[in-house]
Chains A and B, each alone.
Chain A
Amino acid sequence: MNKFYTILKYSFITLWTVFIVAPFLWAVSTSFKDFQSVNSKVTYIPWLDFEPTLEGWKVLIKSPARGGVDIVEPYFNSIFVTCTASLISIVLGTLAAYALSRFTFKAGFVRNNDITFFFISQRIMPPIVLSIPFFIFLSTIGLLDSLVGLVVVYIVLLMPIAVWIMVDFFNRVPKELDETALIDGCNPYQAFYKVVLPNSIPGLIVAGMFCIIFGWIDFFFAFILTFTEVQLLPVKVVALNSSITPWWSLSASALVSVAPLIIVAFVVERYLSKGNLSGALK
């Protein structure tokens, strides 16, 4: 019976692994194809089924003028917007989370939990609801199609995440620690900065990680709020999709775009095993 169970276990995770890896394998294979290999019949393994070419990949390096696809600039734009918005969200969000965890707020019938809920509920907003007003808002202040405009919008997306994670985390740091810092002569700001913050690194890392992930993967806001001046990575790739871009360049661009965060997967796994993540995510 135990044997059966073991076989079941391993088959399950093997199947799932195949499922996970399938699209990647397909994309890698396709990126080396050309017109023949794609459109006559379905081909899989290079050299066996078809003649591989580097057309798909060369396109990434060629300049747009000669039919290439420029993804370097969108790459950097994405990095800039994601990191800046994440940073601001984490800073403001952590401060707010600390306040919500430690102090009591009472304004009419509004209490701490309501304020926290307000922050977190921003995630419920589907992008479409905000995109039209943001479109008009940003064009009014001249920030349409700009990096700064996107950063501003992304803060709304990411701050709730920072607040959600950090409030939970701070709630698990004993209040007595803050109190001791106060008694030892720190004012509340120093207590936060010198004592609470150094002990919150795991939480900050988790918050940072999620902010970066959710910022990086946004498509819709970038789609609506940018055109030619500024292009973010996801938009660029999808734009390729709707034009007559051949599958091979499409696959190559897609693979290059998703590669970076895979490194993050390794980082996350390390942290998970070390047990720090578990505490922060509860």
Chain B
Amino acid sequence: MNLIGENISYKPDNEYHLNNISFNFKKGNLYTILGRTLSGKTTLLKTIAGLINPNSGSMHFEDKNFSEIPVWERNVAMVYQQFINYPHMNVYENIVFPLKQRKVSDEQIKKDVNEALNTVGLVGFENRKIQELSGGQQQRVALARSLAKKAKILLLDEPLVNLDYKLREQLREEFKRIFSEGFSQETILIYSTTDPQEVMELNGEVIVLDEGKILQNGPAKEIFENPLNLKVAEISNDPPMNILKGSKVSTKINLDNISIGLPSHLNNLADEAYNFGIRASEVKLDENGEEFEIELAEISGSETLLHLKKGNTKIIALIEEVMNFKIHEKIKINFNNNKFYAFDLNGNLVSSPYGAING
């Protein structure tokens, strides 16, 4: 049964937190909601959970009008970004709590709890107090509690954002495993995040949210290859996609002070002004390329992020090595021409390297 939302709007104090949102979530699928902070992700999740009542619109699940069902009767589970567990209970009691509320039989409880603990890798922790656990373990308990409920809708609101980097990577892997194998085909999984990389790794159906509106939705690959407009391109790329104003003039693209040969996939474009987009990862060091001045060099893991400037053009390049650069040093870079996007002056996608062409 699908979770269908129609024209949901939430407007407290005259400000739209959700603006005319519609969705159709099918069971057994993973949906990732991608958006920046304050874009409405948490609001949307809370609305589905029933903690927030929208001002307009409706939701249906299993043929029932959701708006008439209070939170405690909906079959949902939610994992928060702040590790929320019941502090006055130990791990076992925490996981058992929702099951006891639903008056599940004792044997069934044992089975479900053990299964959940197994899935999150916390077998043997039953008697520990919540305060004794680390952040990652606490979040796993929260997840176990949600899993044990066998809820039809599982909501996760940026569950990894408060964990340190290593833990985040580790848990992300585990999530992928849990979501693909250990999961019931009856459940709708909804996962929100600000991190585009997470979205790509989880590889679900993506919904891009900004200022309470859905900008685009589709499989992760689709969002990556064909962002429908500049906003989506901005939100779904980290570091943000470089957007350069320029125009196509017969066989060349003229950016502010650079001229580039026209990539073949842009042949059919009219000779006009556009916003051209290119990912930071598609900017390469090239001795024969254009000279840019380095404004900032950030080393991140095994990569280097270069903030470059030439005249009025500013771009970010992602170099896949660790290199020591000095500010104001000049280097030469070139673009991977085949990966240029073209957006019209209104910000809409006109042409993408992956084949979608919007008139």
**B interface residue count range (under 10 / 10 to 19 / 20 to 34 / 35 or more):** 20 to 34
**A interface residue count range (under 10 / 10 to 19 / 20 to 34 / 35 or more):** 10 to 19
A199-B84 contact given A180-B78, A184-B145, A185-B72, CB 8 Å threshold: no
Query: Which of B78, B86, B87 contacts A183 (CB under 8 A)?
Result: B78
Closest A-chain residue to B103, C-beta based?
A185
CB distance from B71 to the nearest CB of A (A): 4
CB distance from B103 to the nearest CB of A (A): 9
With the chains together, A177 CA to B70 CA distance in Å? 17
A195 touches B86 (CB 8 A): yes
Whether A120 is near chain B, meaning CB under 8 Å from some CB there, is no
Query: Which of A176, A185, A195, A199 contacts B80 (CB under 8 A)?
Result: A176
CB distance from A134 to the nearest CB of B (A): 41
Residues of chain A lying within 8 A (CB to CB) of residue B140: none
Interface of A is mostly: helix
Residues of chain A lying within 8 A (CB to CB) of residue B152: none
With the chains together, A190 CA to B97 CA distance in Å? 12
| Total A-B contacts with CB atoms under 8 angstroms apart | 51
CB distance from B255 to the nearest CB of A (A): 48
CB distance from A151 to the nearest CB of B (A): 32
Residues of chain B lying within 8 A (CB to CB) of residue A181: 86
A179-B70 contact given A174-B82, A185-B102, A199-B87, CB 8 Å threshold: no
CB distance from A227 to the nearest CB of B (A): 48
B80 touches A180 (CB 8 A): yes
Whether A186 is near chain B, meaning CB under 8 Å from some CB there, is yes
Residues of chain A lying within 8 A (CB to CB) of residue B78: 179-180, 183
B77 touches A185 (CB 8 A): no
CB distance from B92 to the nearest CB of A (A): 15
Residues of chain A lying within 8 A (CB to CB) of residue B88: 195, 198-199
Whether B98 is near chain A, meaning CB under 8 Å from some CB there, is yes
- The residues in A between 185 and 209 inclusive whose CB is less than 8 angstroms from any CB of B are 185-187, 190, 195, 198-199
With the chains together, A179 CA to B74 CA distance in Å? 13
Whether A182 is near chain B, meaning CB under 8 Å from some CB there, is yes
Closest A-chain residue to B101, C-beta based?
A185
CB distance from A275 to the nearest CB of B (A): 14
Residues of chain B lying within 8 A (CB to CB) of residue A176: 80, 82, 84
Residues of chain B lying within 8 A (CB to CB) of residue A185: 72-73, 98, 101-102
Closest B-chain residue to A187, C-beta based?
B72
Residue from B71, B77, B102 having most chain A Cβ neighbours under 10 A: B71
With the chains together, A185 CA to B150 CA distance in Å? 13
CB distance from A194 to the nearest CB of B (A): 8
Query: What per-residue 1/0 map shows which CB atoms of A246-282 lie under 8 Å from chain B?
Result: 0000000000000000000000000000000000000
CB distance from A52 to the nearest CB of B (A): 54
Where the two chains meet, the residues of B that have a C-beta atom closer than 8 Å to any C-beta of A are: 46, 49-51, 70-73, 76-78, 80, 82, 84, 86-88, 97-98, 101-102, 145, 149
- Please name the 8 residue pairs, one residue from A and one from B, whose CB atoms are nearest each other, closest first: A185-B101, A184-B98, A182-B71, A198-B88, A176-B84, A180-B84, A185-B72, A187-B72
Interface contacts beyond A182-B51, A184-B77, A190-B101: sample of 8 additional A-B pairs, CB < 8 Å, sorted by A: A174-B82, A179-B51, A180-B80, A180-B84, A183-B49, A183-B51, A184-B98, A186-B72
What are 23 A-B pairs with beta-carbon distances under 8 A? A174-B82, A177-B84, A179-B49, A179-B71, A180-B80, A180-B86, A182-B72, A183-B49, A183-B71, A183-B72, A183-B78, A184-B72, A184-B77, A184-B97, A184-B98, A184-B101, A184-B145, A184-B149, A185-B73, A186-B72, A187-B70, A190-B101, A199-B87
